[in-house]
Structure 1
């Protein structure tokens, strides 16, 4: 086989952590051996610009909304979407269909099975903290049922931390250890290790040269624990009243609530909302301490970026964070959902410049030696080849009948 054709099924064109990893991998994928195609639920978003710049074939399905509860109307929409994906796969005949998140996983398994795709790769990108079950989006029985049923048809499940593999094996059905592959996120350290002029950022946000600066990089979403971050900020300000707190990320509907929290805490003057930014190395350059207060994580790209930049990091023990940060060696870990613990760790680092420097340098070294983007791409390519060579012959013997559907609208190629 000269080349392997891969269809990547994605649910959104907004640039989140999973999407950034996907683009970095796509940018480095060996085009002599692999032919990527993108099939997207949505048609517009920043990710599309990145895809088109890479000259990768792109098709969108004009899906308006994938959120909400299951009901007869949404069920019909799900069936129609699966039918459209099935027809696309029958036409394109890829060797692999790959997805990363919940709804793309469900659709790729069903459509991929009936379209006779030899290799179906799904993903798990995050898990709740073992200690906190505040966010239960996909724990209702019908979501669990969908995931368990479609697990039967996944050739492989890709996860980005060992804790996610553990949760997958413990909490899902029809999953075996040999089908779950751990592939860590990767990062190119170059943008974070080059000389950076921090003066423009300081001028933009009017940061004084002697002020402590603490920042968090994440979409403004409840699962990221921003409320805890603000409550911790109020405690930190009791010890270091000149500290400024940067909330760096796209608003996912909670900015106004967070502003109210800051007002009630009496710390609005010390809190800056930057919005979505694409100059992360420059923003990191002004931080004394980086924080991740998430309840749910897989493997945090923001933490990886901070490690590559040599930042002193305080993070919760959620998801794969302990696989990134070695507590007391490359950063500090605290329990999720505990603002007082978070505040104490921040205060500890603000009061000890030498410790910040030591933790940051060891974090930089760990990022470079354990989480390189080149290694991630090489491991992905090796897995693709192994799965195709293992499954391509058996899949040609028996193909299932196509699913019945009354839907008639076709996907739109761009």
Structure 2
């Protein structure tokens, strides 16, 4: 099958984060399955530039002030050699691309929508002083004010044969806005289960010594950005309570920032014992090595508007870890409370502390939850499963 994947912002640096990682990995693995895949993205150059990242052919076309330049874009969108054009948009407004080109667009498109609107329930756990930072999620804010009539008009263009969303929550948002349910298929994001493999722990047997942790100590781990949206401040408060019952538990914080942005965190950590902050953790191999040391992974999101489940949750589950997280965004679609993870309300240090203490007191439950988490990821989030489901969706939509 000849497939053109379309997504703005693809670079060798952006593909470590969503949604670009999803688009790139999907492209790379469809090639592995014998498909002829090219990835179309934007460039600052006047003429089309041909590139390659890890075996994935990249076509870079000129970007206008806000969108792709129409002339270059249409050249590829109307190329009859492609069986499928899969356009990835970060929000509902991204379909304006197709709307602008509707009179000249000849080929059919399968649209993949990665995020949806911001709702009042999403932001109720934020402090008033944190609200200005929501500008980082401008696409979710803009979705919230997108009239349903406009959304329906754009999404129901005859050239758009089907829509893929990364969560049931996002599918229901589209259905509520007048999109027919049989036109929308939910296919979640994937995890490299061979790379995120619990047996890595055997290779890291001496790591606790290197980190000066007691070999018998329990390790609670957090990884990601230090944004207050991710509830890191809630975790710090919760750990003060946890240490009353387990004074020697280790708190390992893998923070994808350095310098000024984590000064507040260092000040808070200085007031506690047995806390280690590792700054700037980005490389997967390093992350996996640290994840292998954790007994419990805590990701206490206060706010998650991106609609799909956070990749950090999926990666920790793939490593067979007992994950404690919150009822935020699409996380409850993945975590079955008490089965393959533990869910607590956002922004509630006391309940988070209780959840951590309960697991620390029940080592067998840590193992059972981690085992179930790994099996869940293998069954529903292995990239081989995601690729097969995506190719099936392409065939179904183009019948």
Q: Cα distance 1:376–1:88, how it changes in 2: closer, same or farther (>3 A)?
A: same
1:308 maps onto 2:318 in alignment: yes
**Per-residue deviation at 1:261?**
4.6
1:21 maps onto 2:22 in alignment: yes
**Per-residue deviation at 1:90?**
1.4
The question of whether the paired residues in 2 share the 8 Å contact of 1:101 and 1:125 is answered with yes
The question of whether the paired residues in 2 share the 8 Å contact of 1:132 and 1:336 is answered with no
Counterpart pick for 1:35 among 34, 37, 41 = 37
**Per-residue deviation at 1:354?**
1.2
- In 1, Cα distance between equivalents of 2:93 and 2:44: 12
TM-score (structure 1 length as normaliser): 0.75
Q: CA RMSD in A?
A: 3.3
1:101 maps onto 2:108 in alignment: no
Point out the more displaced range, 322-331 or 365-374.
Answer: 365-374
Point out the more displaced range, 181-190 or 259-268.
Answer: 259-268
Counterpart pick for 1:288 among 268, 289, 295 = 295
- 2:212 aligns with 206
Point out the more displaced range, 200-209 or 227-236.
Answer: 200-209
- 2:130 aligns with none
- 1:244 aligns with 250
The question of whether the paired residues in 1 share the 8 Å contact of 2:148 and 2:178 is answered with no
- 2:154 aligns with 153
User: Structure 2 regions of 5+ residues with no counterpart?
Assistant: 127-133
- 1:90 aligns with 74
The question of whether the paired residues in 2 share the 8 Å contact of 1:99 and 1:108 is answered with no
Q: Cα distance 1:302–1:98, how it changes in 2: closer, same or farther (>3 A)?
A: same
Task: Tell me the SS of whatever aligns to 1:10.
Answer: coil
User: Structure 1 regions of 5+ residues with no counterpart?
Assistant: 64-76, 391-414
- 2:129 aligns with none
1:165 maps onto 2:171 in alignment: yes
- 2:59 aligns with 58
**Per-residue deviation at 1:287?**
0.4
- In 2, Cα distance between equivalents of 1:57 and 1:206: 45
1:113 maps onto 2:96 in alignment: no
Task: Tell me the SS of whatever aligns to 1:145.
Answer: coil
TM-superposition CA deviations, 1:21-44 (whole Å, max 9, x none): 32321221047444322313689x
Aligned positions, number: 361
- In 2, Cα distance between equivalents of 1:370 and 1:34: 25
Q: Tell which has more relative contact order, 1 or 2 (C-alpha 8 A, sep 6+).
A: 1
Q: Cα distance 1:5–1:108, how it changes in 2: closer, same or farther (>3 A)?
A: farther
- In 2, Cα distance between equivalents of 1:260 and 1:356: 31
TM-score (structure 2 length as normaliser): 0.78
Task: Tell me the SS of whatever aligns to 2:27.
Answer: helix
Point out the more displaced range, 111-120 or 362-371.
Answer: 111-120
1:381 maps onto 2:391 in alignment: yes
**Per-residue deviation at 1:286?**
0.4
**Per-residue deviation at 1:180?**
2.3
Q: Cα distance 1:42–1:353, how it changes in 2: closer, same or farther (>3 A)?
A: farther
- In 1, Cα distance between equivalents of 2:375 and 2:150: 42
- In 2, Cα distance between equivalents of 1:8 and 1:100: 9
The question of whether the paired residues in 2 share the 8 Å contact of 1:106 and 1:147 is answered with no
- In 2, Cα distance between equivalents of 1:385 and 1:365: 28
- In 2, Cα distance between equivalents of 1:365 and 1:153: 39
